[in-house]
Structure 1
Amino acid sequence: MAKTSCRDCVDLLVDYLEGVLPEDREKALDEHFMACPPCLDFLDQYRASSSLCRKAIETDMPDALAAKLGEFLNKSCK
């Protein structure tokens, strides 16, 4: 298998976190993360962001804020 690059880490991050990569590919990414502080930091930040988003979704928010957020997301995601 070719050497794992920083680009590979970004491209395969979701599959890595979901545990759906072949074992050899996951191992190669693990090795890259341990040897590349910027990629490890990116992984940690992604995990933290994902956790914060889940908490935000589970939190009751005022109707006005929910409406504004919905409007923003509808405009931004088109």
Structure 2
Amino acid sequence: MPELTCQELVELVTDYLDGALDPDTARRFEEHVAECPGCQTYVEQLEETASRLGTIPAESLSEEMQAFLRSAFRDLRR
């Protein structure tokens, strides 16, 4: 299988962080991150963001903020 491009990595990052990639794609993802400093930084930033957001109770956010975050993460997958 060919190596992943940076664009492909961006499209797969949410599935990777959720543990939803098949083993071969996960391996290719990890190989790309190991060799690409920009993608490594990107993945680290998303992991940190997810970690911090995970500590905020959803009900403490306004309806507008909840809708904004849902939209932002949905757009991330596109």
How high is the TM-score relative to the length of structure 1?
A: 0.73
- Cα deviation code 1:5-62 (max 9, x no counterpart): 001111001111111211111111100000001101110000110111111227x96x
Are residues 7 and 73 of structure 1, via their aligned partners in 2, closer, same or farther at CA, if it must alter by over 3 Å? same
1:31 maps to which residue? 31
- The one-letter amino acid of 1:56's match is I
Q: Who is 2:10 aligned against?
A: 10
Task: Find 1:73's aligned residue among 61, 65, 73.
Answer: 65
- The count of corresponding residues between Structure 1 and Structure 2 is 69
Gaps of 5+ in 2: 72-78
TM-score by length of 2: 0.73
* Correspondence for 1:54: 54
The structure, 1 or 2, with the larger RCO (C-alpha pairs under 8 Å, 6+ apart) is 2
Mapped to 2, the partners of 1:37 and 1:51 lie a distance apart of 21
Identity of aligned residues (%): 25
RMSD across aligned positions (CA):
2.3
Alpha-carbon distance in 2 for matches of 1:53, 1:26: 24
Structure 1 segments (4+ residues) deviating >3 Å: 74-77
Q: Which moved more, 1:12-21 or 1:41-50?
A: 12-21
Between structure 1 and structure 2, the one with the greater Rg is: 1
2: distance between equivalents of 1:23 and 1:75? 33
